Amino acid sequence: MEDRHTKKEAVDYLCNGSVVYEKEEFEKFFDQYMEEWNVEEEDKEEYKKMIESNKPAFDWGVVEYEGVTYFIDYVA
């Protein structure tokens, strides 16, 4: 809901498989995620930009809640 969605929308996203990552965790396991998701080398730049700028990559959300930054991988 912190990403300007209604409670119902947020629940629907989570039920459909959307995942929320703490930024710190995402950075720590970045290489593992990229390998697991089979992300091409040139496409990794989009994720690196998200980490550096806190601006969402395509189909992602970025929110800060109680001083912690979260990345949201949306699944519609």
Nearest to 50 by CA among 21, 19, 17, 75: 21
Rg (CA), the chain: 12
Q: How far apart are CA 1 and CA 24, in angstroms?
A: 21
Query: Residue 76: pLDDT above 80?
Result: no
- What SS3 state is found at 45? helix
15: tokens are 């039920």
For 18-58, what is each residue's pLDDT tens digit?
999 999 999 999 999 999 999 999 999 999 999 999 999 98
13's CB contacts (< 8 A; 6+ apart) are 5, 72, 74, 75, 76
